[in-house]
Chain A
Amino acid sequence: MGKTDNNIIHATNLSAGYGNRQIWQGADFSVRRGEFVGVLGPNGAGKTTLFRLLLGLLKPSAGRLEVFGMPPQRGNPRIGYVPQRRPINSELRIEALELVRLGINGDRWGISLPAQAQTERQRALEALTSVGAGALANRSLGELSGGELQRVFLAQALVGKPDLLLLDEPLANLDIRRETELVKSIAGVVRQQKIAVLLIAHDINPLLPVVDRLIYAVNGCIATGTPKEIITTKALSAVYGAPVEVLRDSHGRVAVLGTEEAIHHD
């Protein structure tokens, strides 16, 4: 395992956009093995765009991006991905285990042989158990709650034993207790399997106890730093390019005020 192997993502002067529309530009950051990185920023600031670049679904409009020391390529088995909350038909009776299983075999041609199927189901069950969702294995997808579904999606992303996990808004629509539980499960996986996680969220608070670093996407720029460095009135005002204020309560929770006014709308 060389030094390069620890550096999972490396971006230099990276810009992203669709057609003529620039989303953000001049981003420099890197993510190392075992890091839990929160990705924050207002809607439309290009958080999901960053994921699309990493997945190889979108080409950088300028600059360099390397994932595992190479330009991103679509279908990289070393990346586990949970897109933004997917609609699940409430009548869908297929069990959770089968969805997780697709994380192993869904990109293959043909039909699984019986022996293969047995191994795949075993691995899928292990992945579900690793995120505390072993009991959901045989439940219908349509009857799972939002929090339960997120665990199933997480297990599906983990079952292929990825080195990098990209989670797009996994905490959306969860209550505070479930948010905390899910973040804990994710953090457990990061520490145990020494993988890197990028997690998009709109609220920093559930992430604060576990996150190593933050990536902020605001007003066409990408800023990065540890929570200590970046969640300060001074640093965030610089990121937003306008005076915003960071307040802390006695439990260590933070509130960032003035961000709405600070976002440049076209």
Chain B
Amino acid sequence: MTSGFSLNLWSDLQTMWQYGFMQHAFEAGTVVAIVAGVVGYFVVLRRSSFAAHALSHVGFAGAAGAVLLGLNPLVGLLVFTSGGGLTMAGLGRKAAGRDAQIGIVLSFMLGLGVLFISLYKGYATEAYSLLFGEILGISAGDVLVTLVAGVLTLAVVAAIYRRLLFTSLDEDVAEAKGVSTAAMNSVFMLLLALATSIAVQVVGVLLIFALMVTPAAIAERLAHRPPVGIAIAVGVALLTTWFGLFISYYQPYPVSFFITTTVFVLYLLVRALQSRRAKGIL
């Protein structure tokens, strides 16, 4: 990169944003962080982290298939994760706890993705960016799709918020109160599919946990009220994404690495502080 790191954060950012790719990365990264924080909070609350992980792998097969057919990988991601999400929802809420079955499908999908990638005689970087994310390569068109998918996801979460919270925390009572837990589960899996699809662009299939689960897990440890928890999850996801992008401008190493590392360090810090407080040291 051209200029060096200065102490004036604003002028540093302005320098970065002169580059279109950097601007797109910040735009898409911001949308993805907000969506991942919100949806991730419910993922952690519903104990469906593994389902989120599996969905991203299902998405990998879709994205690789799309690349093979000469389509936008994002289209493949959206189609496959939505299908996978609805299938999991169809198996019932308890399916989220069926680790073995989900794992079996997950590895099959990953294998399928590998086949598609090898059939595609293009660059191997395509596979690499799907697996580990390539936010610096994001196009203006992808930013727009990300924005639309992100706004849609947030709008639906807002529309079903109280019912979703009820079924996430207290399924049996919610069902008795006339809230259809099956319907809520299907809608949530679709939201998760959307969120996963756009998040894959930033951190890739394999590192989806870093944006979808870790910030929310930090939030769950800190917040007494769901809205506060969501705010913390979004804040952590935003902070780590921006920080990762910022650092990556000056360093030749992947953005995903900086994001996953920052969020992991934050998680450890929160845990350490909490256990010290529990012991009465702090």
Contacts and interface: CB of A to CB of B under 8 A. Distances in A.
Interface of A: 55, 57, 74-77, 79, 81-83, 86, 89, 91-95, 98-99, 102-103, 105-112, 138, 140, 156-157
A95 B225 contact: yes
| Smallest CB-CB A-B distances: 5 pairs | A75-B178, A106-B166, A83-B172, A95-B224, A107-B177
A92 B172 CA distance: 18
B205 to A, nearest CB: 27
A46 to B, nearest CB: 17
Interface string B241-252: 000000000000
A75 B179 contact: yes
B99 interface: no
A109 B220 contact: no
Interface stretch (B59-67, B156-164, B256-264): B156-164
Contacts of A91: 220-221
Contacts of A86: 170, 172
Given A74-B176, A99-B169, A102-B169, 17 more contacts: A55-B176, A76-B178, A81-B176, A81-B177, A83-B172, A91-B221, A92-B220, A99-B170, A105-B162, A106-B165, A106-B170, A106-B177, A107-B163, A107-B166, A109-B163, A110-B159, A156-B170
Contact of B170 (A74, A75, A77, A102): A102
A92 B225 CA distance: 11
Contacts of B226: 94, 98
Contact of B162 (A74, A94, A95, A109): A109
A203 B188 CA distance: 41
B18 to A, nearest CB: 39
Interface string B163-203: 10110011011111111000000000000000000000000
B276 interface: no
Contacts of A105: 162
Nearest to A106: B166
A109 B160 contact: yes
Contacts of B172: 83, 86
A108 B166 CA distance: 10
Nearest to B223: A93
A47 B159 CA distance: 37
B162 A108 contact: yes
A111 B177 CA distance: 18
Contacts of A109: 159-163
23 contacts: A57-B176, A74-B176, A81-B173, A83-B176, A93-B221, A93-B224, A94-B223, A95-B224, A95-B225, A98-B225, A102-B162, A102-B169, A105-B162, A106-B163, A106-B165, A106-B170, A107-B179, A108-B163, A109-B162, A109-B163, A110-B159, A110-B160, A110-B161
A94 B163 contact: no
B47 interface: yes
B68 interface: no
A103 to B, nearest CB: 8
B222 interface: yes
Nearest to A142: B220
Nearest to B158: A111
B174 A106 contact: yes
A112 B165 CA distance: 12
Nearest to A83: B172
Given A83-B173, A99-B170, A93 B220 contact: yes
Contacts of A106: 162-163, 165-166, 170, 173-174, 177, 179
A129 B140 CA distance: 56
A99 B168 CA distance: 11
A107 B174 contact: yes
Nearest to A55: B176
